Amino acid sequence: MVIQPQSLYERMGGAETVRKIVEAFYPIVQENPEIGPLFPEDIRPVQEKQYMFLTQFFGGPSLYSDEYGHPMMRARHLPFPITRERAEAWLGCMKQALEKIGMEEELKHTVLERLSGPAFHFVNS
């Protein structure tokens, strides 16, 4: 029998937690002066795509790729001027969201660390 290591997705609490994260995250983003203005008023479609993306990013089912193909996330962010400050603001909003949903400290740290790679990789301006 092969014992699979538990994914971050499973450690976080799976679908229920990812749902809570995206629901907490976007209202915080919309209020953020640094990045809020980049997002459309109707945030629902973005929230749903992020739910699908983060699910697979953390090691859950490949919801995003099944629907939209290769994520190419850096390319998908090219239309938006992303500075280092904006990457920091995005991560700051995520930190607030994880605190809001009561994620345990060590797990929160791991999740933020995992997201900081892509966030700074998307800097294009």
Q: Is 68 in the site for ligand HEM (CB under 6 A)?
A: yes
Q: Which of 17, 32, 47, 50 binds ligand HEM (CB under 6 A)?
A: 50
Residue with tokens 């603001």, as numbered in its chain: 89
Question: In the window 30-49, what residues touch ligand HEM (CB under 6 A)?
Answer: 35, 38-40, 46, 49
- End-to-end Cα separation, the chain, in angstroms: 49
Cα angle 54, 33, 110; round to 5: 30
Q: What minimum distance in Å lies between the beta carbon of 106 and ligand HEM? A: 20
Q: Is 20 in the site for ligand HEM (CB under 6 A)?
A: no
Compute the distance between CA of residue 95 and CA of residue 110 in angstroms, rounded to an integer.
Answer: 11
Give the amino acid at 86.
Answer: R
Residue with tokens 């109707």, as numbered in its chain: 42
Q: For binding to ligand HEM (CB under 6 A), which residues are involved?
A: 35, 38-40, 46, 49-50, 53, 57, 68, 73, 76-77, 80, 82, 86-87, 90, 115, 118-119, 122
